[in-house]
């Protein structure tokens, strides 16, 4: 796992100092070496910050083709690369390294952009093709690895993180409309919080020449239509199919030239990963677990029991409220986005402990909830929109049970309080996914905190339109089961824009740790999208097929336990602790006053009202406060301005 930078200029020369500065800003992603290359005509530059995982001696980048006319920088891992290397050599290619990264270069030489069909893993890459005079950039199918870009005049800057673009000279400015919509709908596929800074969407590649820019999609989920005829199989057959694919996905992610550990919580996802990894690891695998002082959020005892079952080395990282306060600023600056809970800060501290223990690679459980309907709002969708043959009274009882047994998800994963006008979503989809209702209820709570001018300017621009406008409704949603529609929309926005950032790559790479995500292996996902929705949710049991597939390698406790989202204890529940004081001081301070989008008077009034709120209301408010504190951190760390941009920007539009 590494950091990559690319610069392509249509007119002016690329300066080595700019390329070096941008690459150096990604040192945390690649502390094992920084290198760069500039073309002879000074129009193209590539930079690479390396974290050595595969081939510790000859794997430096950029990597050049045999004739020197094609060069690539890669962030990520390609699995099954050994077989591809042999095929490339049989076709006459002379490989210079033993890394997995080099296969992308030679596959591109042979297949052009269709090389992506043969790449399996978590990756982002930038490649310069001198023969065609074009820059080729691509991002993995799910957005596990980040890839941002911006134009300054006729020069394109592209990098693993936004801070590298700022280091290269891209102006650090808020995108006001994105800030407004960030309070609701969890991430845009193309835009970011920063003016002029865009991202290559998951499953897309970019082509740039002197004359044009385009984005093309090369992969999608492709859920089956509800009326599509499928061969019915037994539960056992579905479970066996899923188990085979998941076990292979875990096994190939154990391949590294450095030690590999596992992030372990008390949840089904990480326990499944550990259980399967232990079967294929030659020695006891090391499991790293976060623990919290608040028992409602601490999964340490369940994780310890799981580690004992498979003979793993169990290593705990205790997290206190003081720790969250101390690390919050650095974690948010690393994420370059806002959080709704300090769980990302806890993951940042976890990756620091893992690195201190001498590990560069961990396998994680992220992505399972997105492909298997793990969150409570997906179960709510099943109850509301898959009612055929069910007793309405029984459904109402189950809905009450769902709310009563997911109190920590109140306002975060399940609707809480008033919901905004979502008629547009219902007109287009025919129903409203529960997670959109949940996020809409958050917007209702935030609106009283907005500055009048901000509300007047953007309040009529409903965020749900962004989701719908970004989605090929006819080809990907219409005629699909409502649950699959909800999963699709969530994966395209919240998973890519928040979960894989705040709980994935950015928190791990903040301390030079590579996270590998077996649940987001595209071959595994292509298996589960074709299985019936009742393999994902069966009654009140989420991730049904996974439970049955891994029952032999997890504990009985984990097998029977319902989904508990990974959250850190809210600051609002510990008013006498350091983290709560940090939140109060930040939102009452000068930085909050300098952010023009909110009324600090209204924010302070909310803070003053917290002591009189019941626990559930304070928990629901905590996510709003986390959002505001995150904006303060970003404002302060990057010196962001909010003035309108006068010069035009070139924006790549996805091709039809």
Q: How confident is the model at residue 562 (pLDDT cuts 50, 70, 90)?
A: confident
The pLDDT value given to residue 643: 57
pLDDT score at 630: 97
* Predicted pLDDT of residue 649: 43
Residue 641 pairs in a beta bridge with 173
CA dihedral 389, 393, 397, 402 (to 10 degrees): 40
Once rounded to an integer, what is the mean pLDDT over residues 574-584? 94
Range 222-374+465-471+482-647: architecture per CATH:
3-Layer(aba) Sandwich (3.40)
Ranges 322-331, 335-344, 433-442, 476-485: which has the least confidence: 433-442
Per-residue confidence (pLDDT) for residue 650, from 0 to 100: 43
- Using the predicted structure, report yes or no on whether residue 648 has a pLDDT greater than 60: no
**CA-CA-CA-CA dihedral for 256, 526, 545, 414, to nearest 10:** 100
HEC sequence for 140-157: CCCCCCCCEEEEECCEEE
Provide the token pair at 258.
């450095």
Average pLDDT, integer, range 259-272? 96
- Confidence (pLDDT) at 411: 64
Give the pLDDT of residue 58: 73
Residue pair 41/20 in contact by the 8 Å Cβ criterion: no
Provide the b/e sequence for 325-358 (b: ≥16 CB within 10 Å): bbbbbbbbbbbbbbbbbbbbbbbbbbbbbbbeee
pLDDT of 267 higher than 80: yes
Which residues sit opposite 361 in a β-bridge? 260, 514
* Domains of the chain, residue spans: 3-172+192-217, 222-374+465-471+482-647, 375-464+472-481
- 68, pLDDT greater than 80: yes
pLDDT at 393 over 50: yes
pLDDT band at residue 52 using 50, 70 and 90 as cut-offs:
confident
User: What pLDDT does 396 receive?
Assistant: 80
pLDDT score for 402: 80
**Which 3 state secondary structure label does DSSP give 594?**
helix
Task: Tell whether the model's pLDDT for residue 652 goes beyond 80.
Answer: no
Mean pLDDT of 4-16: 96
> Looking at the chain, how many residues does it have?
656
pLDDT attached to residue 653: 42
| Least reliable range by pLDDT among 62-76, 368-382, 393-407 | 393-407
Instruction: Identify the architecture of domain 3-172+192-217 in CATH.
Output: 4-Layer Sandwich (3.60)
pLDDT tens for each residue of 178-225: 999 888 766 678 899 999 999 999 999 999 999 999 999 999 999 999
Report pLDDT for 465: 61
Q: How confident is the model at residue 646, as a pLDDT?
A: 35
Distance between CA atoms of 74 and 95, rounded to whole angstroms? 16
Mean pLDDT of all residues in 83-91: 94
Could you give the CA distance from residue 432 to residue 429 in angstroms, rounded to a whole number?
7
Q: What is the pLDDT of residues 95-117, one digit of tens each?
A: 988 889 999 999 999 999 999 99
Question: Residue 353 pLDDT more than 50?
Answer: yes
DSSP 3-state assignment of 221? coil
How much is the pLDDT for 323?
97
Q: Return the higher-pLDDT residue of 47 and 424.
A: 47
The residue with greater pLDDT, 488 or 394, is 488
**For residue 463, what pLDDT is reported?**
58
pLDDT at 464: 62
Residue 645 pLDDT level (bands cut at 50, 70, 90): very low
* pLDDT for 347 beyond 50: yes
Q: What number of H helices and E strands is found in the chain?
A: 27, 19
Highest mean pLDDT: which of 349-358, 400-409, 471-480? 349-358
State how far the Cα of 247 lies from the Cα of 527, in Å rounded to an integer. 13
| pLDDT above 70 as % of the chain | 95
């Amino acid at each position: 796992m590494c950091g990559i930078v690319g610069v392509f200029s249509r007119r002016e020369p690329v300066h080595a100092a700019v390329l070096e500065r941008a690459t150096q800003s990604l040192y945390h992603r690649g502390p094992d070496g920084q290198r760069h290359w500039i073309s002879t005509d000074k129009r193209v530059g590539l930079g690479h910050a390396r974290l050595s995982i595969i081939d510790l001696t000859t794997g430096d980048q950029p990597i050049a083709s045999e004739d020197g006319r094609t060069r690539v920088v890669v962030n990520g891992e390609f699995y099954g690369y050994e077989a591809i290397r042999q095929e490339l050599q049989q076709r006459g290619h002379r490989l210079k390294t033993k890394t997995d990264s080099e296969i992308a270069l030679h596959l591109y030489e042979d297949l052009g952009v269709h090389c992506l069909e043969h790449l399996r893993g978590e990756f982002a890459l930038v490649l310069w093709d001198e023969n065609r005079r074009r820059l080729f950039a691509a991002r993995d199918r799910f957005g596990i690895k980040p890839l941002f870009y911006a134009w300054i005049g006729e020069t394109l800057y592209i990098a693993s993180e936004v801070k590298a673009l700022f280091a290269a000279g891209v102006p650090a400015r808020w995108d006001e409309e994105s800030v407004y919509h960030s309070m609701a709908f969890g991430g845009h596929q193309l835009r970011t919080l920063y003016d002029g800074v865009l991202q290559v969407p998951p499953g897309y590649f970019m082509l740039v020449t002197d004359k044009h820019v385009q984005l093309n999609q090369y992969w999608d989920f492709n859920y089956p239509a509800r009326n599509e005829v499928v061969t019915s199989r037994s539960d056992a057959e579905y479970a066996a199919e899923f188990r085979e694919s998941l076990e292979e996905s875990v096994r190939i992610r154990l391949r590294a030239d450095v030690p590999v550990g596992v992030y372990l919580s008390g949840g089904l996802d990480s326990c499944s990963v550990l259980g399967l990894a232990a079967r294929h690891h030659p020695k006891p695998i090391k499991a790293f677990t976060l623990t919290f002082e608040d028992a409602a959020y601490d999964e340490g005892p369940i994780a310890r029991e799981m580690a004992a079952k498979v003979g793993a080395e169990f290593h705990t990282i205790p997290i206190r409220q003081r720790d969250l306060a101390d690390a919050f600023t650095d974690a948010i600056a690393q994420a370059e986005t806002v959080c709704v809970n300090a769980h990302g800060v806890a993951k940042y501290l976890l990756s620091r402990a893992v690195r201190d223990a001498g590990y560069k690679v961990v396998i994680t459980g992220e992505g399972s909830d997105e492909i298997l309907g793990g969150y409570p709002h997906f179960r709510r969708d099943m109850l509301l929109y898959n009612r055929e043959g069910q007793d309405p009274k029984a459904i109402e009882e189950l809905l009450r049970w769902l709310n009563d047994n997911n109190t920590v998800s109140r306002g975060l994963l399940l609707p809480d309080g008033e919901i905004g006008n979502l008629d547009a979503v219902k007109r287009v989809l025919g129903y409203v996914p529960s997670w959109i209702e949940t996020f809409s209820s958050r917007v209702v709570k935030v609106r009283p905190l907005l500055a009048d001018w901000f509300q007047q300017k953007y309040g009529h621009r409903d965020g749900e339109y962004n989701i719908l406008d970004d989605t090929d409704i006819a080809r990907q949603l219409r005629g699909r089961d409502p649950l699959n529609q909800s999963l699709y929309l969530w994966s395209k926005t919240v998973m890519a824009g928040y979960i894989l950032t705040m709980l994935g790559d950015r928190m791990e790479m903040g301390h030079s740790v590579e996270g590998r995500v077996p649940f987001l292996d595209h071959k595994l996902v292509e298996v589960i999208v074709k299985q019936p929705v009742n393999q994902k949710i069966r009654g009140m049991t989420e991730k049904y097929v996974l439970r049955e597939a891994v029952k032999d390698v997890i504990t009985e406790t984990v097998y029977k336990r319902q989904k508990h989202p990974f959250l850190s204890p809210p600051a609002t529940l510990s008013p006498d602790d350091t983290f709560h004081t940090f939140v109060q001081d930040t939102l009452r301070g000068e930085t909050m006053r300098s952010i023009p989008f909110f009324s600090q008077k209204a924010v302070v009034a909310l803070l003053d009202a917290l002591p009189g709120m019941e626990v559930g209301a304070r928990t629901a408010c905590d996510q709003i406060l986390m959002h505001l504190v995150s904006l303060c951190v970003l404002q302060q760390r990057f010196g962001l301005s909010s003035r309108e941009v006068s010069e035009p920007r070139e924006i790549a539009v996805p091709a039809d």
